[in-house]
Amino acid sequence: MILTATFSKPAKNCAKLLGRDYIRIRFWRSTRSALKPNAQYDAEFFTAKQSFRKTLSTVEFEEFVKTHAGTTFKNVTQKTETEEITILSNRHGEIKTLRKPLKDNSFQNKSVLSENRKKNYIIKEDIPVAFLVRLGVMNTDGKVLAQKYDKFRQINRFLEFIDDIIDSVTSLCTDGTFTKERPLHIADFGCGKSYLTFAVYHFLTEIKKIPVEITGLDLKEDVITDCQKLARDCGYSGLNFYVGDVASFTYTHEPDMLITLHACDTATDYAISYAVSHGAKAILSVPCCQHEINTQLDTKAKCIPPQSPLASLSRYGIIRERMAALATDAIRAELLEQKGYNVQVMEFIDAAHTPKNLLIRAVKKTRAADSSQTEQSRTRVNSLLSEMKVSQTLNNIFTKCTSQ
């Protein structure tokens, strides 16, 4: 039984065969198989700027392997309970299959589903983590509580996003390493109960061994008091919480990375604006409650003529709301690219758990943005706003700064 499979090195006809220019595809045994007997494999399809999550039955997965391994993708690595199987093809189309026994087969007699689920996570199960125990995600033996498993998956998923870019951030900020004298500075705006803030601190300090100082900000004083107490109880000396917002708070050091999760409506725009204007090397944002454009569409729907391609989309409330949210985040991504960031918009967690599942991840480029590409991006943004007959806060902020 195949537990995991990774497809890489796509052929030139990948987009034609699969509909998108995928650069990598990852499959793993689904943790939801017990609930959905036909949903045996989860998959993540990566392009250069996006990722897409899918669920496949065993038959669909096996058919995908048969059709695309060694042809559409030149390198495929599969793992079973006992061996690693590598499928390679060269420029002449010759396909070779290599098999290598796994050294550690101790999990053979355990539940394959359970063990595979554990080894795919950055924070492992059955190893107690102080903040997760205190927050009620784990018990004192490190067992993840059933009702908190979605939260545990969400935490690990977010850490994967951090792990993917940490080397780039390090090279942009230092000569190759962070030290106690020059730690990685992170600001978390709208940190709330701070599940992810604590997870990032634990991951960077305990797993990656990177000195870090994280400042969590929120407007709720009682929440900040609880978070600060938990940080002290866990011995997290580099993790501090304050009442405040990102724009008015005075940082001892400008943040190298800004995290903003579920900041409501235009609060996300002000957080992104702050990060850009203060030279943040990386921005991770999960927007929430994008009301601004939807409100304008709701009041101006009659202004959109029937010949507009958006006319039908603006007629129905729930469709209009979703279109407005997607338009808002697309504009934010475009604006970040204009400011010299490599931007990806990815699914944060499965939409079945929350509709607030898009993550905008931006990492500063080492070279200035291409002027022609920047101009094309501006054209796209202005065209979209003009067609929708709306304005957008982050665009207004950047336009004002440019004109000054």
Q: What is the 3-state secondary structure (H, E, C) of 124-161?
A: CCCCCCHHHHHCCCECCCCCECHHHHHHHHHHHHHHHH
304-308 average pLDDT score? 83
Using DSSP's 3-state secondary structure scheme, residue 345 falls into strand
Residue ranges covered by each domain of the chain: 4-118, 161-403
240-252 average pLDDT score? 84
261 vs 377 pLDDT, higher one:
377
What is the tens place of the pLDDT at every residue in 25-65? 999 887 554 444 455 788 889 887 777 888 888 889 999 99
Is CATH 3.40.50.10480 correct for 161-403? no
* 114 and 3 Cβ atoms separated by less than 8 Å: no
pLDDT of residue 262: 79
Using DSSP's 3-state secondary structure scheme, residue 5 falls into strand
Both structure tokens of 216? 């969590």
pLDDT of residue 403: 66
Mean residue pLDDT of the chain comes to 86
State which H helix or E strand residue 100 sits in.
Answer: strand 95-101
What is the tens place of the pLDDT at every residue in 94-140? 999 999 887 655 444 444 444 444 457 889 888 889 899 988 899 88
Confidence of residue 371 (pLDDT cuts 50, 70, 90): confident
Confidence of residue 327 (pLDDT cuts 50, 70, 90): very high
pLDDT of residue 74: 94
In sequence order, what are the residues at sequence separation of 6 or more whose Cβ sits closer than 8 angstroms to the Cβ of residue 30?
Answer: 36, 39, 40, 41, 42, 55, 113
What is the tens place of the pLDDT at every residue in 338-353? 999 999 998 876 544 4
